[in-house]
Structure 1
Amino acid sequence: MAQSTDTLRRTLSFYSPPLDGSDPEYIEGTSEESGRRNYPNREESVLIRDMRGHHKSFTLDEHSFTVLPGVFDLNIDFTEPMEITERYLPWVDDLLRRNIPRVASVTTFNYTMRKASTSKTPIRQVHKIHIDQSPKGAFMRARRHLPAEDITAIENGKAHFRIINVWKPVFRPVKDYPITAAEFRSLRATDLVPVRQVSSDYVGETYVAKYRDGQRFWYWSDMTPDDVFLIQCFDSEEQSPESVALGGLQHAQCAHGSFRLADDMDESCTRESIEVRCLVVIV
């Protein structure tokens, strides 16, 4: 079928239940070992649209993701952890304050450097369509990392919080495995399945997505190291009762993953990226 130049049909990875009927679980890997899950992926051919040229139409409030072209303006060596901690993370803090209204605080709770690979290697790109935190997992993160006064303000309705992933390529433009994100208003509550997420020092809960016709996916072609993708994994402010009653999500959350872009599977994998995860308190 003919497609416009800004539309692709590619394979995305979705959730399929564990074959033994158990609850889904993922055990995080390390720098030496890949993660392990007890459920298979289901591959689906999906229409993915390109945001380039009309990226200003996408907002955190309406879509749960947005893109910021050409905003990165520092000269940082991303191979040096101290450079990331002392220079890049403060830059991320300032970026979020400049692009999200009424920010009271930004708390970075971790970051990940990834290198794409066609083989199963540790800390590579994530294919499966997922959300880093379920609502339960998001509140667990907030209580783990935010000060008590912020939690009290959130519980009393005087503040709310968002979990924002700040993703960008490093070293070179993205030519393979770009990020793809689903409009949160195209998702239904029944599309998302909670997964127990186990790491060496923490047990949380994430979401994985089941495929359903009607989900709308986007990507941003030819991202450069100066471009930034904001992925909103959670907003504690609830959606309207009318929307929830119709099957929509109770919270604005972005299901996302990555996909093989090139038709030539022998093309070398060059995507390297940094993803910073932040708790943003809004007043």
Structure 2
Amino acid sequence: GTTEERRYLVTPPCQGSMSRNMGSEYPHAHHRAVVPIRDIRGRECDFTLRTHSFAALPGVFCTTPSLSTTSGDRHATDFDDPLQVSARYIPRVKALLLNQLPGATDVAVFDHTVRKASATKTPARQVRKIHIDQSPRGALGRARRHLDQQTASMLESGAIRFSIINVWKSIRGTVTDHPLTFADCRSLRQSDLVPVRQIYPDYVGETYALKHRSTQEFWYWSNMGEADVLLLQCFDSLERDEADGVDEDGDDGLAYAQCAHGSFELNEVTGEAEKHERESIEVRCLVIYGIPTTHSAKIT
């Protein structure tokens, strides 16, 4: 089905200026735009990272009872304990990506976030602003920060392909509200993207905020269970077909398959009472494809 939701999208800064931070310190206004959001339920196999920038994996983490400290399963994880997440869950994520991504030879996890949906502002609540976690410059910065110098140099030169994949799943039952919405990257244009500098105490990254355009296509996955996994591709150094995504006005499509995403209040649309607050984990991964390719572009 299709819902209509007011999504948070950016009002861009003046031409030539650089925005800073997506959170509370972001200095430029966001506005809410009513956009149709279609459900991929029943069509999960129709979407791929390479073409659409997202992929749905139904039931890929089949554990009964679901991942919890009481399940008795050797993979049981207390997601509130970072040490257990690192020891028990992260290895499963790495194995999943190596199995699902053809040509992938290594996965480096650089962080994970456990989120609990909340109506009040908390550091770990859902993110409603539509964004892409890394610009190409930000992706390369992550590679330099988290990989050895030799590997990072090969990625920068285009000798080896790499991607950044977010692995997202529920950790508390079925998602009945605040699901993720994600855009088909073919419907985005380069002019939709606004670079945002992310400033940390010891690191400066770069993300994208998204400007609204009526032809953008958004999707969500209804009733995600704990065994379901959503892959969001924030960057892939393998460039897309230059002709793909160019509209009639000549506005260029994205050079790379990158997924703009955020959450939305499904119950605000349906009018249903919230059954429980959404809890989720998102693991952000650098994926290395060890076979050199002439199709990867030098990133500048």
Judge same fold: TM > 0.5, yes or no. yes
| Structure 1 residue 149 corresponds to structure 2 residue 138 | no
Structure 1 alignment gaps of length 5 or more: 1-5, 29-34
Look up the match of 1:47: 36
Check 1:64–1:106 CA distance in 2 against 1; reply closer, same or farther (3 A cut): same
- For residues 155 and 118 of structure 1, the distance between their equivalents in structure 2, rounded to whole angstroms, comes to 41
Q: Is the 8 A contact 2:140 2:156 kept in 1?
A: no
Q: After TM superposition, give the deviation of residue 17 of structure 1 in Å.
A: 2.9
* Residue identity matched to 2:2: T
| Structure 1 residue 160 corresponds to structure 2 residue 155 | no
Q: After TM superposition, give the deviation of residue 267 of structure 1 in Å.
A: 3.9
Q: Is the 8 A contact 1:118 1:269 kept in 2?
A: no
Q: After TM superposition, give the deviation of residue 13 of structure 1 in Å.
A: 0.7
Q: After TM superposition, give the deviation of residue 244 of structure 1 in Å.
A: 7.2
* Residue identity matched to 2:59: G
Q: Secondary structure at the match of 2:243?
A: helix
- For residues 202 and 275 of structure 2, the distance between their equivalents in structure 1, rounded to whole angstroms, comes to 34
Check 1:272–1:171 CA distance in 2 against 1; reply closer, same or farther (3 A cut): same
- For residues 17 and 257 of structure 2, the distance between their equivalents in structure 1, rounded to whole angstroms, comes to 28
Look up the match of 1:3: none
Q: After TM superposition, give the deviation of residue 121 of structure 1 in Å.
A: 1.7
Look up the match of 2:186: 185
Look up the match of 1:135: 136
Q: Is the 8 A contact 2:154 2:160 kept in 1?
A: yes
Look up the match of 1:32: none
Check 1:157–1:37 CA distance in 2 against 1; reply closer, same or farther (3 A cut): closer
Map 1:1-283 onto structure 2 (within 5 A): 6-18=1-13, 23-26=18-21, 35-72=24-61, 73=63, 74-243=75-244, 246=250, 247-263=252-268, 264=271, 267=274, 270-282=277-289, 283=291
Q: Which moved more, 1:58-67 or 1:147-156?
A: 147-156
Check 1:216–1:180 CA distance in 2 against 1; reply closer, same or farther (3 A cut): same
- For residues 35 and 139 of structure 2, the distance between their equivalents in structure 1, rounded to whole angstroms, comes to 28
**What are the superposed Cα offsets for residues 98-141 of structure 1, whole Å, 9 maximum, x if unpaired?**
10011121000111111111112221100011000011111111
* Residue identity matched to 1:176: D
- Residue identity (%): 49
TM-score by length of 2: 0.85
- For residues 161 and 141 of structure 1, the distance between their equivalents in structure 2, rounded to whole angstroms, comes to 11
- For residues 175 and 114 of structure 1, the distance between their equivalents in structure 2, rounded to whole angstroms, comes to 15
Q: Is the 8 A contact 1:166 1:277 kept in 2?
A: yes
Q: Secondary structure at the match of 1:158?
A: coil
- For residues 84 and 92 of structure 2, the distance between their equivalents in structure 1, rounded to whole angstroms, comes to 11
- For residues 23 and 61 of structure 1, the distance between their equivalents in structure 2, rounded to whole angstroms, comes to 29
Q: Which moved more, 1:189-198 or 1:269-278?
A: 269-278
* Residue identity matched to 1:13: Y
Check 1:244–1:180 CA distance in 2 against 1; reply closer, same or farther (3 A cut): closer
Q: After TM superposition, give the deviation of residue 18 of structure 1 in Å.
A: 4.8
Q: Secondary structure at the match of 1:49?
A: strand
Aligned residues: 272
Q: Is the 8 A contact 2:132 2:234 kept in 1?
A: yes
TM-score by length of 1: 0.90
* Residue identity matched to 2:219: W
